[in-house]
Amino acid sequence: MLSPGFLRFVNVLIGMNASERKAFLQFTTGCSSLPPGGLANLHPRLTVVRKVDAGEGSYPSVNTCVHYLKLPDYPNEEILRERLLTATKEKGFHLN
């Protein structure tokens, strides 16, 4: 069974335009494009986990080496989208 937070995350990804998806991919994997064959051929696979003890004001964080996204359990898609897009614009290692 998929959690409501994960379903909100999927809905936000579906609603992203091409440049937002590219920024998300760069943020989570360190690369701006998928390998041939798409996500199915991404190694290591993208792992999404709930960021423990993170409130609504927290931002997602990542470990790009292992494609690991730590996502707070936001109460709605609007907040999730805003925090995720803000995080993708950060440069450096502030959100790892």
At residue 93 the predicted structure's pLDDT band, cuts being 50, 70 and 90, is: low
CATH class, domain 4-33+40-89, is alpha beta
| pLDDT exceeds 80 at position 96 | no
The predicted pLDDT at position 91 comes to 67
Residue 65 among the catalytic residues = yes
Average pLDDT over residues 80-85: 96
At residue 13 the predicted structure's pLDDT band, cuts being 50, 70 and 90, is: very high
Q: Catalytic residue among 10, 49, 65, 66, which?
A: 65
14 exposed, middle or buried (CB, 10 Å; 0-12, 13-18, 19+)?
exposed
List pLDDT tens digits, range 29-82: 999 888 999 888 999 999 999 998 888 889 999 999 999 999 999 999 999 999
